[in-house]
Amino acid sequence: MTARGEMTLEQPSADTLKVVLSGDWKLGGELPSAEKVQQALDNQPGVRQLVFDTRKLASWDTGLLTFLTNLNAFCLKQNLRLKSDGLPPGAKRLLELAAAVPEKKDARPAEERLSFLSYLGNETVNFFRSAGELLEFIGEAVIASQRLVRGQAQYRRADLGLILQAVGVQALPIVSLICFLVGLILAFIGAIQLKLFGAQIYVADLVGIAMVRLMAAIMTGIVMAGRTGGAFAAQLGTMQVNQEIDALKTTGISPMEFLVLPRMLALALMMPPLCLYANVMGILGGMVVGVGLLDIGFIEYYQETAKAVGLWNLGIGLFSGLVFGIIVALAGCMRGMQCGRSASAVGDAATSAVVTAIVGIIVSTAVITVLCNFLGI
Amino acid sequence: MRLSGTDAGAAPRESAVITGQEAHIKVQGLTMAYGDFVLMRDLTFTINRGDIFIVMGGSGCGKSTLMTILIGLKAPAQGKVFYGGEDFWGADQETRDRIIRRAGVMYQSGALWSSLTLAENIALPLEIYTDLRPAQVRKVVKLKLALVGMAGFEEFYPSEISGGMQKRAGIARAMALDPEILFFDEPSAGLDPVSARRLDDLILELRESLGTTMVVVTHEMASIFAIGSNSVFLDVSKRTMTATGNPNQLLAETKDPALRLFLTRGEHS
């Protein structure tokens, strides 16, 4: 049965209103509203004080307290006296406790409603600020790399080994699956078109050049952005939340050298071999379609691929892989180092790292493609 | 809550802070272990309704582990915990959930949900377990924050307030559903002496006003003597409890050197 609280109002004298409370004043039950008392007070302008009779009050909880705090606020506003003597001692004390520290009116952060132009202006400023931070981070990474070359960088070789393992060997299964399927898909799409001209054999050229020159590096880069870039951001972000990065700084160890450098180095070292491996898997995927569905001989497919794929293509692919590796590491580490101090900030940092890395990969692919075109390779 | 229970009768009655009368939590022959490693064994004590019960002991003795067992986060290796006569760990998960819903917990770091504002932190249990309308929830949130001296901070995120304020907001959240029992894990840890004292006063005031049973895990001497009405001492060297009772009384009467050393902060061994 729902708890029910009841209230009656009496006026024992011209300047006093008595609030008689009875029944169960419990949260979630049927409780009279404080507005009824306020209305009565408005109708009786001579009333200067409010008193309570709670002799018939059976039980109470927060339900009674919210009622009383509302009345208290109203009485303060109207300059009326609220006499709490008739209240249960516990409720009286809690009412005093709740009123002990006045509400900080200026504590709430102002909710800013920005006009479109202000919003646009803020976003533009933020964009340039982010670009500045990115350049600053890249600059610090370059300086740290120089110290590494000079053998002055502070980092643990054991950490580098573990990161190499995490970004290298442990990434092989997912890279295999993705690149094998991409090679397979490319071959299928090419086969449908080339079959119309009786030129199925050129499926080997299509898959070989596409995978070796571009697709293997891009797909591996995207896989590493999701798998490793996000993980870097989450690791460093959590360290930021736990003040571990502050501890490194105060110990005199550069977080850039100790945390970022090994990660960047590991990805830069591992991405070219991973791309090479991805090339093989992609070509295998294409070969399955070529040999299995298009009746091209295994040796014939191999020879056509070897003839089509030149060393320049391989070099461009591996160089792209190296660039993508550095981009993924920088994006992951930068977002991790910029992380806020809360759990949700870690999630935001991981998401932002993946997005930044993928955008970086696509933009750098465009730049590399234009450059190669310009150089005629 | 159960805040006052039954204020019936001819005159308004206080919420009946009854200490040393009715058992609220009974722990019988409890053994705490991590795998094969036994942390504490044979713990038997009673927490009475309205007690401010202190779980005390040196670092690493298992105070916080004991709390995790009492609030249902970790099962004991052996022994029983009774809530008002109900065998807590002998019951099914649903019953345990029902029992523990009557408790509120303030964790050492506040453990506020960082992606929610303070108002949302306190409102969440109310939205899940009550049928209150949003306007009523807002009023309750405002009241709970006012009780811990933080009125006006509704829209702040946990990362925007100090550690002491996070603890107080943690208490406000723990009190959201008017619990019968409040658990505090190291409430004074990391606070300056004045803030620690204020927190002690708040705990005392809430107990006096509401009659709530309080279980406080701490090794802060000032807090132990200021607020504790009952206690248990976990001796890390003997891997069991060696005393239970009012901390001031224990200090006056104990002959146990380890307990004396602990209660006098090593000054009178």
Position A90 pLDDT exceeds 90:
no
CA dist A345 → A176, A277, A330, B104 (Å):
32, 35, 18, 27
B197: which residues sit within 8 A by CB, 6+ positions away?
Answer: B222, B226
Establish, for the pair of chains A and B, how many residue pairs have beta carbons separated by less than 8 Å.
Answer: 126
Q: Are A91 and A60 in contact (CB under 8 A)?
A: yes
Q: What is the ipTM of this complex?
A: 0.71
B17 confidence band (pLDDT: 50, 70, 90): very low
Residues A48-62, mean pLDDT to the nearest whole number: 90
Chain A residues lying within 8 Å of B2, measured CB to CB: 61
Query: Residue B246: phi, psi to the nearest 5?
Result: -65, 130
The confidence score (pLDDT) of residue A73 equals 87
Most confident of A46-55, A271-280, B65-74, B99-108: A271-280
Position B98 pLDDT exceeds 50:
yes
Residue A193, classed as helix, strand or coil, is helix
Q: Which neighbouring-strand residues pair with A93?
A: none
How far from chain centre, in Å, is Cα A8? 55
Per-residue pLDDT of B186-206, as tens digits, reads 888 877 788 788 888 888 988
Q: Are A23 and A56 in contact (CB under 8 A)?
A: yes
**Mean pLDDT, chain A, integer:** 90
Task: Report the 10 Å Cβ neighbour count for B18.
Answer: 14
Position B1 pLDDT exceeds 90:
no
Q: How far is A169 from chain B (nearest CA, A)?
A: 33
Q: How far is B49 from chain A (nearest CA, A)?
A: 16
Token pair listed for B231: 């206690």
Q: Does A55 contact B10 at a Cβ distance shorter than 8 Å?
A: yes
Residues B103-126, mean pLDDT to the nearest whole number: 87
Start-end of H helices in A196-228 = 202-210, 216-224
A366: which residues sit within 8 A by CB, 6+ positions away?
Answer: none
Per-residue pLDDT of B24-52, as tens digits, reads 999 999 999 988 899 999 999 999 999 99
A96 confidence band (pLDDT: 50, 70, 90): confident
Query: Residue B23: phi, psi to the nearest 5?
Result: -70, 130
The confidence score (pLDDT) of residue B56 equals 93
Residues A163-188, mean pLDDT to the nearest whole number: 95
CA distance B262 to B269: 9
Q: Are B220 and B209 in contact (CB under 8 A)?
A: no
CA distance B195 to B223: 12
Nearest chain B residue to A58 by CA distance is B8
Residue type present at position A46: G
Q: Is B53 or B209 the better-scoring residue by pLDDT?
A: B53
A108 confidence band (pLDDT: 50, 70, 90): low
* DSSP annotation of A30: B
Residues A189-200, mean pLDDT to the nearest whole number: 88
Q: Does B12 contact A98 at a Cβ distance shorter than 8 Å?
A: no
Instruction: Tell me which of A22, A65, A351 to substitute to probe the interface with B (most B C-beta atoms closer than 10 Å).
Output: A65
Scan residues 17-76 of B and list those with Cβ closer than 8 Å to A.
none
CA distance A72 to A91: 13
Chain A residues lying within 8 Å of B208, measured CB to CB: 90, 93
Q: Is B35 or B233 the better-scoring residue by pLDDT?
A: B233
Per-residue pLDDT of B129-145, as tens digits, reads 888 899 999 999 999 99
Q: What angle do CA B214, B217, B221 make, to 5 degrees?
A: 105
Q: Are A191 and A207 in contact (CB under 8 A)?
A: no
Query: Residue B260: phi, psi to the nearest 5?
Result: -60, -45
A165 confidence band (pLDDT: 50, 70, 90): very high
Residue type present at position A87: L
The confidence score (pLDDT) of residue B14 equals 35
Per-residue pLDDT of A207-254, as tens digits, reads 999 999 999 999 999 999 999 999 999 999 999 887 788 878 877 788
Query: Residue B74: phi, psi to the nearest 5?
Result: -145, 135
A200 confidence band (pLDDT: 50, 70, 90): confident
- Chain A residues within 8 Å of chain B (Cβ atoms): 27-28, 54-55, 57-62, 65-66, 69-70, 86-91, 93-94, 97-105, 107-109, 111, 340-345
Quick check: pTM over 0.90?
no
Nearest chain B residue to A347 by CA distance is B115
The confidence score (pLDDT) of residue A110 equals 54
Most confident of A177-191, B100-114, B153-167, B189-203: A177-191
Residues B147-172, mean pLDDT to the nearest whole number: 89
Q: Does B146 contact A103 at a Cβ distance shorter than 8 Å?
A: yes
Nearest chain B residue to A103 by CA distance is B151
Token pair listed for B145: 């924050």
Residues A126-137, mean pLDDT to the nearest whole number: 92
A318 confidence band (pLDDT: 50, 70, 90): very high
Chain A residues lying within 8 Å of B157, measured CB to CB: 342
Token pair listed for A215: 């697709």
Residues B120-128, mean pLDDT to the nearest whole number: 89
The least confident of A65-79, A267-281, B192-206 is: B192-206
CA distance B220 to B195: 13
Scan residues 191-220 of B and list those with Cβ closer than 8 Å to A.
202, 205, 208-211
Residue type present at position B137: V
Q: Are A227 and A169 in contact (CB under 8 A)?
A: no
CA distance A9 to B181: 35
How far from chain centre, in Å, is Cα A359? 16
CA distance B147 to A95: 8
Longest dimension (CA), chain A: 110
Token pair listed for A15: 């300047």
Token pair listed for A288: 């399955």
CA distance A367 to A212: 18
Q: Which residue in B157, B138, B178, B142 sits closest to B4, CA to CA?
A: B178
CA distance B183 to B196: 16
For chain B, what is the HEC assignment?
CCCCCCCCCCCCCCCCCCCCCCEEEEEEEEEEEECCEEEEEEEEEEEECCCEEEEEECCCCCHHHHHHHHCCCCCCCEEEEEECCEECCCCCHHHHHHHHCCEEEECCCCCCCCCCCHHHHHHHHHHHHCCCCHHHHHHHHHHHHHHCCCCCCCCCCHHHCCHHHHHHHHHHHHCCCCCCEEEEECCCCCCCHHHHHHHHHHHHHHHHHHCCEEEEECCCHHHHHHHCCEEEEEECCCCEEEEECCHHHHHHHCCCHHHHHHHCCCCCC
- Per DSSP bridges, beta strands B52-57 and B230-235 are parallel
The confidence score (pLDDT) of residue B12 equals 32
